Every structure is written in C-alpha cells, then in structure tokens.
Copies of this chain bind each other. A is one copy, B any other.
Amino acid sequence: MKTKKILLSEHEMPTAWYNIVADMPNKPMPALDPRTKKPVTAEAMGRIFGEELVKQEMSTERYIEIPDQVQDLYKIWRPTPVVRAYNLERMLDTPAKIYFKNEGTSPAGSHKPNTAIPQAYYNAKQGIKYLSTETGGGQWGSAMALACQYFNIDLRVYMVKVSYHQKPYRKLLMNAWGADVIPSPSTTTQAGRDILAHDPECSGNLGIAISEAVEIALAHGETTRYCLGSVMNHVLLHQTVIGEEAIRQMEIAGDEPDIVIGCFGGGSNFAGIGFPFLRRNLCEGKKTRIIAVEPASCPKLTRGEFQYDFGDTAGMTPLMPMYTLGHDFQPADIHAGGLRYHGAGPIVSQLYKDGLIEAQSVPQLETFAAGMMFAKSEGIIPAPESTHAIAVAIREAQRAKEEGTPKTILFNLSGHGLIDLYAYEQYFEHKLTDYNVPDEVIRKSLDSLDKIIR
C-alpha cells in the first residue's frame, strides 16, 4: 500500500533555526530611522521588541539554536506531516507528484505558533509581563495568545475592527487562551482616538492596529514589549522549522522537489518552507524553483517597486528597503486577510531582486476554486491564504501535464479554514468578486479549473 503521510518522530525535529542572511549573496540594506535617515540601532529596536529577538533580527549567524523549552512546546503539534496529495493528482490527471506540508495541525490552526512560542519565551526570559500585538484575520493573535499563556504573559491584541465583527470565533479563541482583544481603532490609544475623532465609523486596518499596539507597548515601560508575526527576520527564521523538516521528509519519500510554493503576505510561511530549500540552491548548487504566491489584488512583488517605504500606514515604523505598493495602499477586502499587506519586507525583497526566488499572483476566485478542489480531493478545508499556494501548485501540475514533464511539487498548507467558512459560503453563493483584476484574467484562470471540476 502507498505511503501517504511522511512523519518524523520528535527526535528528528530540527534543533536550530536557519538564518538565510548568512548565505545571501547581497545582504539586505538596513532599515532607516525616518528622521535621521541613519540605520536603526539595536538600542532603538530594543525599546519596542524583546532583547534577544533584536539580536536575532541583526544576526548573521547561519544557525540559531532552539531553546529546549521552545522545542518542548513545539512538540504539542510538531513535527508536522508532509502529505502526498494522491487524490488531487488523480483529480488533475497530472504526471506531477504533489506534496504538501500541513502546518494547519497546530492548536491555533496555522504556522503562526512556530514564532509565537519563541517570541513569548524570549520576552518572558527578559522579565516581560505584558505584550501587545495586532492581528488582522486573527491567526497571528490567536497563536500569540496560545503562546503567552505558557509564560504567564498578559497579551493585548488590537484586532482590525472589521475582522473583529466578521470573525467572532477567532476573537473567542484568543479569549479562551486568556488574551484581551480590542477592536481597532479604539479609544485606548492616542492613535486610535485621533482616527475615531476624524472618522467615528472607521473599520480599521493593519496599519492602524500596529500603531495602537506599538503605542501601548512604548507607553508601559520596562515590563512591556510589542511583538509581530511576519515581515522581520527574527520572525521568518523561526518559521524555518517548516522547511528543515520538509527537507528530511522529502528525503524519506525519496523525492526531490522541483518546485516549492508558499503563499505570501509578510513572508513568514513562505520563508518557513522556502528558505531552507533556498539554502541548498545557494550552498549546494541545487536548482529548486521557489515561488511566492500573492493575491492579484495586492501584488507587491509582481507589480510593486523596490524602494524605501514605511512598514505601516501611518508612517511610524522605520523605513525599509522593499518591494511595495506604497504604505498608503489600501488592499482590497479579500478573504485572505493574512496576505493584505503592502510591502514584501527587506529579505524577501532582496532575494526577489536578485532573481533567487519567483513570484506569481492569483485572482481571488481562482484561489477559492483551487481550495474547493483541494477540499474535495484531500479532504481538508484550506485557509483562504493557503489556497493561493494550492492554486499555483495546480497551475504547475497542469503545466507539467501539458508539457508531459513529470515534476515534483511541494507546497506549504499554512493553515486550515475551519474558522473561515464564512468566506466559502460567499464563494458558494457567488458573492465573491475579484478586485483590481481584469475580467479576462479571472476568466482565463477559472476556465482551466472548471474543466477539471466538471
């Protein structure tokens, strides 16, 4: 009988995170203080983030050891399986082999706890009692709530107001794990009050929520810090446990991936699956294609410009060198909330600029069609973010069929969609649309999927 899941034992878990900065041919340019235009110092960053996390942010060491206590908590759900998607292959009638890494098996339902747990750990070790963060759809906030309770840290989450009302289960999940969740913009911060004074009905966005969370952290002194779930290097590197495990699992499967795919918002799950495979390209001469998949309505890599830009809407963060749509870009209201971010972050941007990774963009309707094909074949309802990776895995599998070249494809299933079923309902009821995407692009992408489904 065929092996479907490639499992590792806990003893085979990676014991170090991989820091790709060590191997980048061109290092990322530094973040700049917007007033002085000089590189941001560790001291300035340490006022916002935990000390050890700032060290990791600036580290050029290739590997950073994972503390024992973090490894022990990873064991709640790690190692995660790599699964051969036989049923999807059959549905597509493709000569390609399709594998996926299932990060939806964590208690919070996504890859986010991979970094939430070490972030809580290092902050607690430093004596931090209180953390603040922001969340859009709630994946990051719930992961951080899960992590904080293990280290007796009180967590306040500023949740984008529209999501707070649309996704009540995500809020409840954070409450269940003890976090205080505030719809943003709120009256608890000056930033929030300013915005509400101007627009009392403002439904919020990630930029505003970041401003509120940072303001609260700075205002509360030495036992309070801020944390975030993507974009920065200390976050991306914590996620590399995904790819490190996957490399071992693909070896066990006896297959070499030609293509590795991750959806792309701030870069955390993409870096998690992609960077360890990229190390092999950089250091061992392999030629794995590594593809970041972004929404067609928020196409910073495929349509943005490489320049210094702010990380938030209000312009409170340092200036970062990155592919960006502009910090005032208002992403369309797609259901993949985790991919609605205007910039690509310095490291992924530099890698893209240097031609070391690829990018594709996919319209929302194509992603949901792909998600339904996955749900019907492999049985798992994927998160709207993850459907982007699935859509490109399907595109590549179809290309393999057209060209008659068997390829091995590995994608990261960053999370399940059980708490996002509302989005699927809208899809079933034909209420979903695409944004900023020409009709013929949508039609073309859907036509090929329709043929398979029917």
B376 touches A172 (CB 8 A): no
A219 interface contact, C-beta 8 A: no
A125 interface contact, C-beta 8 A: no
Instruction: List residues of chain B with CB within 8 A of the CB of A175.
Output: 424-425, 428
Task: For the complex, give the distance between the alpha carbons of A424 and B175 in Å.
Answer: 9
A255 interface contact, C-beta 8 A: no
SS of A interface (majority): helix
Write the nearest CB–CB distance from A147 to chain B, whole angstroms: 9
Chain A interface size band reads 35 or more
A96 interface contact, C-beta 8 A: no
Instruction: List residues of chain B with CB within 8 A of the CB of A5.
Output: 10, 75
Instruction: List residues of chain B with CB within 8 A of the CB of A149.
Output: 376
Contact of A71 among B1, B71, B169, B379 (CB under 8 A): B1
A172 touches B68 (CB 8 A): no
Task: For the complex, give the distance between the alpha carbons of A4 and B13 in Å.
Answer: 12
Copies of this protein in the complex: 2
A381 touches B72 (CB 8 A): no
A418 interface contact, C-beta 8 A: yes
A418 touches B173 (CB 8 A): yes
A380 touches B107 (CB 8 A): yes
Task: For the complex, give the distance between the alpha carbons of A418 and B378 in Å.
Answer: 20
A419 interface contact, C-beta 8 A: yes
Task: For the complex, give the distance between the alpha carbons of A421 and B149 in Å.
Answer: 18
A375 touches B176 (CB 8 A): yes
Instruction: List residues of chain B with CB within 8 A of the CB of A321.
Output: none
Task: For the complex, give the distance between the alpha carbons of A83 and B178 in Å.
Answer: 23
A9 interface contact, C-beta 8 A: yes
Contact of A372 among B68, B150, B168, B176 (CB under 8 A): B176
A146 interface contact, C-beta 8 A: yes
A151 interface contact, C-beta 8 A: no
A76 interface contact, C-beta 8 A: yes
Task: For the complex, give the distance between the alpha carbons of A169 and B172 in Å.
Answer: 15
Task: For the complex, give the distance between the alpha carbons of A149 and B377 in Å.
Answer: 8
Q: Which of A40-79 contact B (CB under 8 A)?
A: 68, 71-72, 75-77
Known interface pairs A7-B7, A177-B375; 12 further A-B residue pairs with C-beta atoms within 8 A, sorted by A's residue number: A1-B72, A3-B11, A4-B10, A4-B76, A87-B150, A105-B105, A146-B379, A169-B422, A176-B372, A176-B424, A177-B376, A178-B376
11 contacts between A and B (CB under 8 A): A2-B72, A4-B75, A5-B75, A87-B150, A107-B380, A169-B422, A172-B425, A172-B428, A177-B375, A177-B379, A418-B418
